[in-house]
Amino acid sequence: MHEAADQKRVRKRAEPDARAEQPGGEEDGDADGDVRFAERERGLAGDPLVQHVPGREPEPRLEQGDDARGEEKEPGEEPGKARWQVALDPRGRTHAPTVPCASGPDKLLFSMEAISDSFRWAGVELRHLVALRTVADEGSLAGAARRLGYSQPAVSQQLATLERLVGARLVERRPGAREVALTPAGRRVLLHGEAMLARAQAADAELRGLERGTVGTLRLGTIPSVGARVVPLVLSRFALAWPDVAIELVEASDDLRLLAQVEAAELDFAFASSPVDGSTLQSLLLLEDPYVLFVAADSPLAGSKRKVGLSRLAKLPLIVCDQSLAPEALLRSHGIDAQIRYRVDDNATLAGLVAAGLGAGLVPRLAIDGGRPDLVELELAVELPPRRIALIWHRDREQSEASRELVEIAAAVCAGL
């Protein structure tokens, strides 16, 4: 009898399910419309996505298949233990689990068509969003095609597919003009699409790090003034706590460039000015860096005991940081035009120009070493809004223990300045 039962079971598995061949039946035989969790568990793309822990009972495998009565029981399963069957009816409505099966694997049966009816974005792919973003950046289909390496009809097809999936017109195509513009719906889709692409890039960076074995490396970006005064203290303390974790340091004079690298998962952290725009970024305010006025040690103003007021400040030839418009904004708010002689990116160049008597430096305090003998710091009669320095990281990236301690060390260092 056991052999007869085994042969019956083998024949049953070899025979196709007759219900899959009946059009209009409750269970659709379309392989594209069913989600097979057993296949995902086996890992179609390489390594398995789910690993069973030895000594623990395996999780129930959810797959579409034969009647539960002809299947073998899972290891450790109690005889007659009820299993639940979950399905969608042809109109896409979810049935509560009402029919317990005596044994055998669960069935989770639903179609992508039913999902798409209630969630139109289910079919949207990252390449559709990349095409939309590139068209928005380039302002034309031809420019987007050149940048992506596609033909122009291929880009148009990507946009048309995206418009059909989301149910809205996204791009305004003007007759006779090469330029295109996003519609209000297009701008809204791009806003959410940017966050989706950033999160995908973050996930890709983490997986690539696992593949390369570089999970013991943190990439830190910084602006020059913080790099000279804060970063050395942070790195020395971090090296004592985590000697096996390397830090790759990237310096840039432009905060926006660093923020873009964090969003693209090219950097793990960045010291930059706050506040920070973007839903994908998270920040911790570390310090407020006040603006100060420096002059050469032999300047007539160097020995003055009086604070420098706005009227005097308006007459001085100023040397300022190229990435900051705070000095001009302050003076302009009082009806005064600043006399900007030089704008420089490098703090050492700025200090050298001031020391040579070529102008007064109006900069954040961290930008210049106040201990230099050839420079004198003067007190301002009016307080400028300080520069706010924060540590920035990607909101959706998983933080390791070393990453969390780097944040704590940076906060402790800046609190002591």
Domains in the chain and their CATH numbers?
Answer: 81-118 (no CATH), 122-195 (1.10.10.10), 216-288+388-415 (3.40.190.10), 291-385 (3.40.190.10)
- Average pLDDT (272-301) is 87
pLDDT at 10 over 50: no
pLDDT > 90: what percent of the chain? 37
Q: What is the pLDDT of residue 349?
A: 92
Q: Which of 30-34, 191-195, 409-413 comes out lowest in average pLDDT?
A: 30-34
pLDDT at 169 over 80: yes
The gap from C-alpha 215 to its chain's centroid, in whole angstroms, comes to 18
pTM for the whole structure: 0.54
Regarding predicted confidence, which is higher, 360 or 9? 360
pLDDT at 100 over 70: no
Two tokens, residue 62: 């959810």
Neighbours of 147 (CB within 10 A): 13
CA dihedral 121, 127, 131, 136 (to 10 degrees): 60
The overall average pLDDT reported for the chain is 75
- Average pLDDT (174-189) is 86
Residue 332: C-alpha distances to residues 73, 324, 337, 388 (Å): 79, 14, 6, 21
Residue range 298-310, pLDDT digits in tens: 999 998 888 888 8
Q: What is the pLDDT of residue 92?
A: 40
pLDDT at 137 over 90: yes
The Cα–Cα gap between 137 and 122 comes to 25
Cross-sheet strand order for the sheet of 340-344? 340-344, 318-321, 360-364, 291-296, 375-378
Regarding predicted confidence, which is higher, 84 or 173? 173
SS3 sequence, the chain? CHHHHHHHHHHHHHCCCHHHHCCCCCCCCCHHHCCCHHHHHHCCCCCCCCCCCCCCCCCCCCCCCCCHHHCCCCCCCCCCCCEECEEECCCCCECCCCCEECCCCCCEECCHHHHHHHCHHHHCCHHHHHHHHHHHHHCEHHHHHHHHCCCHHHHHHHHHHHHHHHCCCCEEECCCCCEEEECHHHHHHHHHHHHHHHHHHHHHHHHHHHHHCCCCEEEEEECHHHHHHCHHHHHHHHHHHCCCCEEEEEECCCHHHHHHHHHCCCCCEEEEEECCCCCCEEEEEEEEECEEEEEECCCCCCCCCCCECHHHHHHCCEEEECCCCHHHHHHHHCCCCCCEEEEECCHHHHHHHHHCCCCEEEEEHHHCCCCCCCEEEECECCCCCCEEEEEEEECCCCCCHHHHHHHHHHHHHHHCC
- Average pLDDT (225-244) is 91
- Average pLDDT (178-185) is 90
pLDDT at 68 over 90: no
The Cα–Cα gap between 205 and 36 comes to 28
pLDDT at 38 over 70: no
- Average pLDDT (320-327) is 75
**Helices 141-148 + 126-138 axis angle, to 10:** 120
pLDDT bucket at 231, cuts 50 / 70 / 90: very high
pLDDT at 88 over 50: no
Name the amino acid, one letter, at 364. P
Q: What is the pLDDT of residue 118?
A: 66
The Cα–Cα gap between 234 and 228 comes to 11
Q: Which of 55-69, 205-219, 290-304 comes out lowest in average pLDDT?
A: 55-69
Q: What is the pLDDT of residue 11?
A: 47
- Average pLDDT (147-163) is 93
Peptide bond into 275 cis (omega under 30): yes
